[in-house]
Amino acid sequence: MSRPLRIALPKGRMMDEALRLFEALGAPVDPAARDSRRLILPSAGGRFEFLPVKSGDVAVYVEAGVADAGVVGLDVLEEGDPDVLRPLDLGFGACRLAVAAPEGTPYPWLPGGGTPRVATKYVESARAFFAGRGVQVELVRISGSVELAPLLGLSDWIVDLVQTGRTLAENGLVVLEEIRASTARLIVNRASHKLRLEDHQRLIADLAAAAERAAAGGG
Amino acid sequence: MSSARVSPVPPGSQDLLAGDVRRRRRVQRAWFALADALGYEEVIPPTFEYEEVFTRTAGPELASRLIRFVDRDGRLVALRADFTSAIARMVATRLAGAPSPLRLSYAGKVYRQEPEGVGRRRELFQLGAELIGEPSPEADVEVLRMAIGVLKALEVRDFQINLGDIRFIRPLLAGLDAAAAEALRTAIDRKDRAALASGARAFGAPAAVARALVELPELIGRGDVLLRARALASGREAEEAIERLRAVDALLTPEERSHVVYDLGEIRGLGYYTGIQFEVYVAGVGRAVGYGGRYDGLLALYGADRPAVGFALETDALADLLAGEGR
């Protein structure tokens, strides 16, 4: 048998949901490895190896060919624009990238002029969005707790991922405009896709079927 | 005395020493031994050209990656970013009267801008060939066979050629405005079925076109995929694409065929391709190490309308592959 397909997964909730899909297609994480501190988790049966990494690094591993495929949110893909195949929308991990600010903040212009400051982790996506709308902004790249930025006066608006909206609401922020909806995607290394075509075609078909069953089951 | 140190080389450029040079020369020797035996004559185009040689047809992607400077007379000049464009210009000017077919080979550097901070090479060694004046499937196969031949000569065993024909895709994008066509090209290139379905809806594609667009990511495989694709071909041009690929398939030996995957969604090449186009993938390298195809319209731009087909391989990637295997 050929070597297992190596799948990069983003640590956290999306990884749990991805592993549930793999379990549904008969490839759960090998129980012997589940609670270990191993860097690479084999699947029972040896068809896959799962590589847990930070979500921003999934595409890096896949683009370089170190992982054959990966699971990552569309939001992260659009931000980094890695050169990979995107054959499948897996349906889970739904969230949206949105412009938000404290309730009552003027948008999309500040009264009396001035360039609005926008704090975000998603600088490229924010740049493209505001450029497309013809709005001139100053972008501030920060790496966490984005919702604090307007409260502390670092920015007028923020661009961030919104899942349930609870974090925003807790900080008195509201969504001003949605930029794009995002779900988890299967991404595939271009070279691996050609060199192991049958393996990838089977993976894509199996995951598509499992995702469809999960969606039908109200998942 | 100044304590300032001499700056190292700019990002993306590099010194090559001992083994790195040896392996590149070994790849080049294997290449020229093969090309010479097939009657290909080496040419050396200039290191810099007027920039329009590269911007006219190669497409916006390459145009955005030229390393340019202003010449003494004020004209814009670019470092050689692509051998095929330079050789097309050469054939249409210096070799305008030469009888067809022309068989030309080359090996040397191309220079391409890369995003800042990534540290990717901005100068790359390539090798390749152009077969000019031959429109036949036999010419397409001659070029494919050379690409396979280099890899075999270097004892690379695990490789695939991803082969398509742009005429299958072109009619699917006909009549769309530039932005819509670009969005669909990107979705085709990523095999992004969801984006193809929503794009086809958004741009109001006719039912047959929408069906072909959504099926494109699956139209990849061995020879049988050409039969499936024929059922989806929309019009004369797409049928010609399938006919050509079938003709190529029939000319390949079983051993060569085992290295070819037909991919009707193959759309990666530079903008001048008009017929078959392909990429070469080698195990252990995460991206394509070679590309090629037919560019029947390129020479006409310089007033010498001749069909042509060619390919290029990344010498550095092949040399690094040898290094990785301790060879």
Tell whether ipTM is more than 0.95: no
Taking the Cβ of residue B157 and every Cβ of chain A, the question of whether any pair is shorter than 8 Å is answered with no
Q: What DSSP letter does each residue of A144-198 carry, written as one string?
A: S-TTHHHHTTS-SEEEEEESSSHHHHHTTEEEEEEEEEE-EEEEE-HHHHHHTHH
Q: % helix / strand / coil in chain B, to the nearest 5?
A: 45, 20, 35
Average pLDDT, stretch B188-212? 93
| pLDDT for res A53 | 95
**Residues of B numbered 19-38 whose beta carbons fall under 8 angstroms of chain A's beta carbons: which are they?**
none
Question: pTM (2 decimals)?
Answer: 0.90
Contact (Cβ atoms closer than 8 angstroms) between residue A171 and residue A148: yes
| pLDDT for res B4 | 66
CA distance A88 to B165: 24
**Widest distance between CA atoms in chain B:** 77
Read off the pLDDT of residues B74-105 as tens digits, 9 standing for 90 and up.
999 999 999 999 999 999 989 988 999 999 99
Q: How confident is the model at residue B9 (pLDDT cuts 50, 70, 90)?
A: confident
pLDDT exceeds cutoff 50 at A219: no
| pLDDT for res B115 | 75
Taking the Cβ of residue B109 and every Cβ of chain A, the question of whether any pair is shorter than 8 Å is answered with no
| pLDDT for res B11 | 82
| pLDDT for res A39 | 86
What is the distance in angstroms between the Cα of A190 and the nearest Cα belonging to chain B? 6
Contacts of A201 in chain B (CB under 8 A): 221
Taking the Cβ of residue B72 and every Cβ of chain A, the question of whether any pair is shorter than 8 Å is answered with no
Q: How confident is the model at residue B2 (pLDDT cuts 50, 70, 90)?
A: low
CA distance B140 to B142: 5
What is the distance in angstroms between the Cα of A31 and the nearest Cα belonging to chain B? 30
| pLDDT for res B288 | 94
Read off the pLDDT of residues A87-126 as tens digits, 9 standing for 90 and up.
999 999 999 999 999 999 999 888 888 899 999 999 999 9
Which residue in chain A has the smallest CA separation from B262?
A194
pLDDT exceeds cutoff 70 at B117: no
Share of chain A above pLDDT 90, in %: 79
Joined tokens for residue A36: 């270990």
Cis peptide before B115 (omega within 30 of 0): no
Read off the pLDDT of residues B133-180 as tens digits, 9 standing for 90 and up.
999 999 999 999 999 999 999 999 999 999 999 999 999 998 899 889
| pLDDT for res B315 | 97
Contact (Cβ atoms closer than 8 angstroms) between residue A14 and residue A93: yes
Read off the pLDDT of residues A159-175 as tens digits, 9 standing for 90 and up.
999 988 898 999 999 99
pLDDT exceeds cutoff 80 at A54: yes
Using the beta-carbon criterion (under 8 Å), do A87 and B192 form an inter-chain contact? yes
Which residue in chain B has the smallest CA separation from A60?
B286
Q: Is A215 helix (H, G, I), strand (E, B) or coil?
A: helix
Contact (Cβ atoms closer than 8 angstroms) between residue A155 and residue A149: yes
pLDDT exceeds cutoff 50 at A35: yes
pLDDT exceeds cutoff 60 at B1: no
